Amino acid sequence: MRLLCLLLLTALSWAAEPSTAIKLDQAGYPPDAPKLAMVVAEQPAREFHLRREADGKSVFKGSLSEALEDANSGDRVQLADFSSFRQTGRYYLDVPGVGRSYSFDIKPDVYRRAYYLAMRSFYGQRCGIAVNMGPEFPQYRYAECHREGAWHPSSGKEGARESKFGWHDAGDYGRYIVNSGLSTGTLLWAHELFGKRLARIRLDIPESGNGVPDILNEIRWNLEWMLTMQDDDGGVFHKQTSEQFAGFVMPEKDTATSYVIGTGAEPFKGSCATGDFAAVMAIAQRAYAPYDKAFAKRAGDAAARAWEWLTKHPNVLFRNPRPVGTGAYGDFDCSDERLWAAAELWRSTGGKAYHDYFLANYQKFVKQVRRPSWPSVGSMGLWTYALARRKDANAEALNAIRQATIDAANAIATRTEQNPYRISMEPRDYVWGSNGEAANYSLLLLVANQLAPDRCYRNAALDNLHYLLGRNTFSVSWVTWVGTNWYKNPHHRPSGADGIAEPWPGLLSGGPNRGRADPALKKLPANLPPMKMWVDDQESYAGNEIAINWNAPLVFVLAGFLPD
């Protein structure tokens, strides 16, 4: 009898191991949102059950769609649609002949935990201060790092120099203004657009409880570093890193000098860095005004001085000076950074020179509205102009921006609805950091939703989030500690060097990279479809590194789907 019970129990789906053939958001779904899962099986399956995790009871039953060929992954995908089921709880899908899925939640604040971890991961990137992730993540800590700073010969100066503040860029310990700029700007925008709901969320960082929203407390750490990178003449140095990448050691064990690195020739500062800096400091000026007037003024003054420098040096490009081998973030065109700076400065101050510059230069960018990325921030400039809702705005410019954004969002939303995995990604989008591209598609859609509210934009934005949290060919959650089957081996020095098996929390993997630009990816079969070009291997810096410019749009999107 006992044996019989045991046999019966194991035959029940809730006792079985989850199958990666069923792909869904492992965090889950908000009750009022569409709810789709994907099934990729050798033999097409016919039906599915939604079952309560607690007792395996079927609460919803549906038919699977016919199988669709997916160009991104090469998978044959069937859809399980349980959108009409709205009851809060914890569930799994059971597909007869295939297996059961990972468990997931349906609830209004289903992304709250993911937001907390993803935003708090910036604290785990802090440079120049001891970091301790606290009782929930014991041993996840390091001592004050990279305090030995100096001017690199390429900066036109010499000698020692203070080194403090900022976030480590990624899996490496460099700090790069260009990438910091878009990342910090994106987070500041999350505060501006969704700040009411975010202000209540305590991030358990050293400043928590000081009366300032924690998202602003965390961002301040990086702003303080960016401010140290501005020269007396207003220009901003491109980056601060060691000459070469460190080995896989903890931050405090990387004792190489942290150099302020310049272009190697007059004027030593770079225009893209200075433009990003001006834009971000202009946002900071308005974001911090209610909390710290002196800091808001400091940021605003720094932005204005950076702008002045930019008018004299509009296109000084940065390339790594010899013998520097760290990240280059070498942009070819700084006119988009300058447009963004003009728009943010105008939005914060109403200054006529900024407005004139914007109006004389925005049209080129209206023709190419696109998701932002570190070398391409023109749309940020357009959108902030439209989101400013200032009385002195030019009606023609507003209409053009609005219409171009709606056109872009319509095309993306339509494409997303037709994609078997319900993602905005096209095969060519699987570049280095493709998961950041997916998140930035959602950012575009959520901004469009601000300018012209439309359910389709929100749904498509949410679809890309589902992809990142498990609804993909690997059934992997690309955010550490979120969902069940999250990836384990990011190219992230603290995760690799701390002696703890599990990686640091809240980190988004760079994602599939069709360019196979690292040794681990090169070991994969060459003809894999782009979505399959990924491996959970620490050696894979082109597919499985983490970076602040990928986590920032993730935070933005998660914030967009938190309840008010």
Return the ∠ at Cα 515 (arms to 420 and 37), rounded to 5°: 20
Sort 418 into a burial class: Cβ within 10 Å, 0-12 / 13-18 / 19+.
Answer: exposed
**Among the candidate windows 67-75, 112-120, 145-153, 213-221, which touches Zn ion by CB under 5 A?**
145-153
Nearer to ligand 9MR, 176 or 340 (CB): 176
Contact call for residue 429 and ligand 9MR (CB under 6 A): no
Contact call for residue 327 and ligand 9MR (CB under 6 A): yes
Torsion-angle region of 546 (φ positive above 0: left; ψ -120 to 50: alpha; else: beta): beta
Contact call for residue 169 and ligand 9MR (CB under 6 A): yes
Nearer to ligand 9MR, 421 or 430 (CB): 430
Nearer to Zn ion, 122 or 430 (CB): 122
Contact call for residue 146 and Zn ion (CB under 5 A): yes
Contact call for residue 433 and ligand 9MR (CB under 6 A): yes
What span, in angstroms and rounded, lies between the C-alpha atoms of 521 and 96?
A: 35
The option from Zn ion, ligand 9MR, none interacting with 490 (CB < 5 to 8 A, set by class) reads none
Nearest distance, CB of residue 165 and ligand 9MR, angstroms: 18
Contact call for residue 331 and ligand 9MR (CB under 6 A): no
Nearer to ligand 9MR, 324 or 388 (CB): 324
Nearest distance, CB of residue 245 and ligand 9MR, angstroms: 4
Nearer to ligand 9MR, 111 or 167 (CB): 167
Instruction: Specify the DSSP class assigned to residue 507.
Output: P
Nearer to Zn ion, 127 or 531 (CB): 127
Find the residue with minimal CB distance to ligand 9MR.
Answer: 327
**Among the candidate windows 24-32, 95-103, 121-129, 493-501, which touches Zn ion by CB under 5 A?**
121-129
What span, in angstroms and rounded, lies between the C-alpha atoms of 272 and 176?
A: 11
Contact call for residue 272 and ligand 9MR (CB under 6 A): no
Count Cβ atoms below 10 Å from residue 266 Cβ, excluding itself. Answer: 10
Cα 206 vs. chain centroid, distance in angstroms? 23
Contact call for residue 381 and ligand 9MR (CB under 6 A): no
- When binding is defined by CB under 6 A, the residue of 170, 342, 345, 460 that contacts ligand 9MR is 170
DSSP secondary structure string for all residues of 281-344: HHHHHHHHTTT-HHHHHHHHHHHHHHHHHHHH-TT----PPTT--S-----S--HHHHHHHHHH
End-to-end CA distance of the chain: 53
Nearest distance, CB of residue 429 and ligand 9MR, angstroms: 12
Four-residue CA torsion sign, 279, 283, 289, 294: negative
Q: How many residues bind ligand 9MR (CB under 6 A)?
A: 12
Nearest distance, CB of residue 508 and ligand 9MR, angstroms: 11
Contact call for residue 127 and Zn ion (CB under 5 A): yes
Return the ∠ at Cα 489 (arms to 485 and 494), rounded to 5°: 125
Sort 65 into a burial class: Cβ within 10 Å, 0-12 / 13-18 / 19+.
Answer: middle
Are the CB atoms for 211 and 217 separated by under 8 Å?
A: no
- When binding is defined by CB under 6 A, the residue of 70, 172, 337, 437 that contacts ligand 9MR is 172
Contact call for residue 245 and ligand 9MR (CB under 6 A): yes
Nearest distance, CB of residue 509 and ligand 9MR, angstroms: 11
**Among the candidate windows 5-13, 17-25, 56-64, 171-179, which touches ligand 9MR by CB under 6 A?**
171-179
Contact call for residue 276 and ligand 9MR (CB under 6 A): no
What span, in angstroms and rounded, lies between the C-alpha atoms of 407 and 13?
A: 45
Tokens of 75: 């998978």
What span, in angstroms and rounded, lies between the C-alpha atoms of 476 and 472?
A: 7
Contact call for residue 115 and ligand 9MR (CB under 6 A): no
Torsion-angle region of 234 (φ positive above 0: left; ψ -120 to 50: alpha; else: beta): left
Contact call for residue 520 and ligand 9MR (CB under 6 A): no
Site for Zn ion in 218-257 (CB under 5 A): 251
The residue type found at 39 is: V
Q: Which of 172, 218, 429, 463 is an active site residue?
A: 172
**Among the candidate windows 61-69, 163-171, 183-191, 525-533, which touches ligand 9MR by CB under 6 A?**
163-171
What span, in angstroms and rounded, lies between the C-alpha atoms of 18 and 329?
A: 41
- When binding is defined by CB under 5 A, the residue of 39, 40, 80, 145 that contacts Zn ion is 145
Nearer to Zn ion, 15 or 143 (CB): 143
Whether 518 is catalytic: no
Contact call for residue 541 and ligand 9MR (CB under 6 A): yes
Contact call for residue 171 and ligand 9MR (CB under 6 A): yes
Collapsed DSSP state (helix, strand, coil) of residue 442: helix
- When binding is defined by CB under 6 A, the residue of 545, 555, 556, 560 that contacts ligand 9MR is 545
Are the CB atoms for 226 and 177 separated by under 8 Å?
A: yes
Partner residues linked to 69 by β-bridges = 76
Whether 491 is catalytic: yes
Are the CB atoms for 224 and 292 separated by under 8 Å?
A: no
Contact call for residue 166 and ligand 9MR (CB under 6 A): no
Are the CB atoms for 516 and 533 separated by under 8 Å?
A: yes
What span, in angstroms and rounded, lies between the C-alpha atoms of 45 and 134?
A: 45
Nearer to ligand 9MR, 48 or 225 (CB): 225
Q: Which of 49, 238, 491, 492 is an active site residue?
A: 491
Spatial CA neighbour of 75 closest among 38, 46, 40: 40
Length reported for the chain: 564
323 preceded by a cis bond (ω within 30 of 0): yes
Spatial CA neighbour of 70 closest among 327, 418, 439, 537: 418
The option from Zn ion, ligand 9MR, none interacting with 433 (CB < 5 to 8 A, set by class) reads ligand 9MR
213 preceded by a cis bond (ω within 30 of 0): no
**Among the candidate windows 71-79, 166-174, 270-278, 444-452, which touches ligand 9MR by CB under 6 A?**
166-174
What are the residue numbers of the active site?
A: 172, 491, 536, 545
**Interacting residues with Zn ion (CB under 5 A):** 127, 145-146, 251
**Interacting residues with ligand 9MR (CB under 6 A):** 169-172, 174, 245, 327, 432-433, 541, 545, 547
